[in-house]
Amino acid sequence: MISGTRLKILMVATEAVPFAKEGGVADVIGSLPAELAKLGHEVCIFMPRYGIVDPMRWGLKPTGFVGTWQGRPASVMRTTLPGTPVVVYLLDQDEFFGRHRQIYLGLDQRDEQRRFILFCRALLDALPALGFAPDIIHLNDWQTAPCAAYLRTSYGHLLRHGAARIVYTVHNLQYQGRWDISILDEAGLDPAQVFTRSGLEFWGDVNWMKAGLMYADVVTTVSRRYAEEIQTLDYGWGLDEVLFQRHSRIFGIPNGLDWDTWNPATDSDLAVQYTAAEAPAAKVRNRTALREEFGLPDDPELPVVGIVSRLVDQKGFDLVAAVAAELGNLPLQLVVLGSGQSHYEQLFRELAARTPNVRARIGFDGALSRRIYAGADFFLMPSSFEPGGLGQLIALRYGTLPIVHATGGLADTVTDLDADPHAGNGVAFTSYAAPALLDALRRALNLYAQRDRWPGLVERAMAYDSRWSASALAYSQLYQRVLRLPLM
Ligand code: ADP
């Protein structure tokens, strides 16, 4: 135990690697509990069992706990997070989870809310029967926020007169879970208690994200900058005032990266594996292989800029579209891997068809993504907003310099090399505008042209410490602190 007391922590989430993943939250829930366990805490994860979570493959065992909610029978299964002592409980309910292979069936639909309301209620009922009395109930995103409303009302006994506290993490404020007041009836929550300004009422609707923000003892987000940004009009998605009222209880704790999963020295998908010392030469060989894969000429004068991303509005591709005409004239090659909104898929298809130095692969391909992280010289991530961001951390780990819009987690992790030549690890632009992106690309090219300086920059990128251990310690300290805060 590094500091403080051993705590019982319940982590409630909708996704966790390796069982079910759609976004970055799965990486967090798959890594953070194991790190907290290393610090001496007893951690359990509670999540739904979707159809993709195979009971045989993961050795799921019945706990014996069964019940019926909203007329639907459900039970709780149990396993452990592979290679760790972390116990994972999975709610098994066929109609809402088991028969679906997808995690999310549709945003803000009534049925979607019913699924996760049932999940929350069932897990709170199960806790005493499973013999787990948590000190910290850590909720993640709107789908788990109904737990907070229950814990402040009919399930208050689980907080054991203030012996237990609620932590709520916002992974992406954009997705809030809104519906009309009728959903409260189904949830079995009394509108007189919760449908208030200081509760979950929001412009006449129920807003589960707001429930999490108002009812948690502390709120966290996945970078320090994003914790500040969401309290402003530009990034608050309408909840900025609510967040600002609670600002003394909002903390930013950066996400870490799993250094075993992302390790260029052991990555079997690469043409050449490499340590930091081997990186300058090995990256050139990986780049040659990558160019071959994409049919690009192997010109050492041109750096390769990589993009690996969901192709959605958040990720800043409207800026790339705005500089499309100039891209062909820049001495670089652009390699894109992504899928998402059809107009962005179309943008990159067209760009690749008419620009000789641009190539695009539309789809999701984990192995190819690794070859891009390894073979590229720069990694472009011009997100308009970015709560945490994994892409830039993976790029640094693979010795690839990130070019980013300085927002959220990107601002916290990437330091501009022109602003700080001695500690910088990438290129960052502050104004979200096409000329700023173009300027950043030109500055990157200028860095690449400094051939004697370049190997040192690659080495510095790889030395950036994004491991989970520091973040887990920050969560551990926050848990100890929230237990000392006055009761809400
Ligand atoms: P977000 O969670 O908003 O999508 P992050 O940067 O936090 O953004 O995480 C994105 C993760 O998904 C990274 O691991 C990235 O490599 C991966 N990824 C995104 N798109 C693809 C793709 N088309 N193929 C393979 N991996 C992808």
Q: Of 48-57, 104-113, 290-299, 353-362, which range is least confident?
A: 104-113
- What is the 222 CA–ligand 1 centroid distance (Å)? 16
Does 309 sit in the ligand 1 pocket, CB within 6 Å?
Answer: yes
Q: Tell whether ligand 1 has an atom less than 6 A from the beta carbon of residue 339.
A: yes
Q: Pairing state of beta strands 61-69 and 42-48?
A: unpaired
- Nearby residues of 27 by Cβ (< 8 Å), 6 or more positions away: 17, 21, 255, 258, 390
Per-residue HEC secondary structure of 85-122 comes to CCEEEEEECHHHHHCCCCCCCCCCCHHHHHHHHHHHHH
- List pLDDT tens digits, range 414-450: 999 999 999 999 999 999 999 999 999 999 999 999 9
Q: Say if residues 333 and 304 touch (Cβ distance below 8 Å).
A: yes
- Indicate the SS3 state at residue 3: coil
For ligand 1, atom 8: residue with the closest CA: 389
Distance of CA 451 to the CA centre of its chain: 35
Q: Coil, strand, or helix at residue 294?
A: helix
From ligand 1's centre to the CA of 100, what distance in Å?
23
Q: Which residues contact 265 (CB under 8 A, 6 or more apart)?
A: 273, 274, 275
Spatial separation of the C-alpha atoms in residues 357 and 334, rounded to whole Å: 6
Q: What is the DSSP string of 197-251?
A: TTTTEETTEEEHHHHHHHHSSEEEESSHHHHHHTTSTTTSTT-HHHHHHTGGGEE
* Rounded Cα gap, residues 1 and 465, in angstroms: 22
Provide the pLDDT for residue 109: 81
Mean pLDDT on 442-465: 97
Q: What is the pLDDT of residue 1?
A: 45
Task: Compute, in angstroms, the gap from residue 355 CA to the centroid of ligand 1.
Answer: 25
User: How far does the centroid of ligand 1 lie from the alpha carbon of residue 452, in Å?
Assistant: 32
pLDDT, tens only, 328-338: 999 999 999 99
Task: Produce one character per residue of 239-249: b if its CB has 16 or more CB atoms within 10 Å, e if not.
Answer: bbebbeeeeeb
Q: Are 78 and 61 in contact (CB under 8 A)?
A: yes
- pTM reported for the whole predicted model: 0.91
Q: Which residues have C-beta within 8 Å of that of residue 290, sequence separation ≥ 6?
A: 271, 304, 335, 371, 372, 374, 375, 376
User: Would you state the pLDDT for residue 488?
Assistant: 79
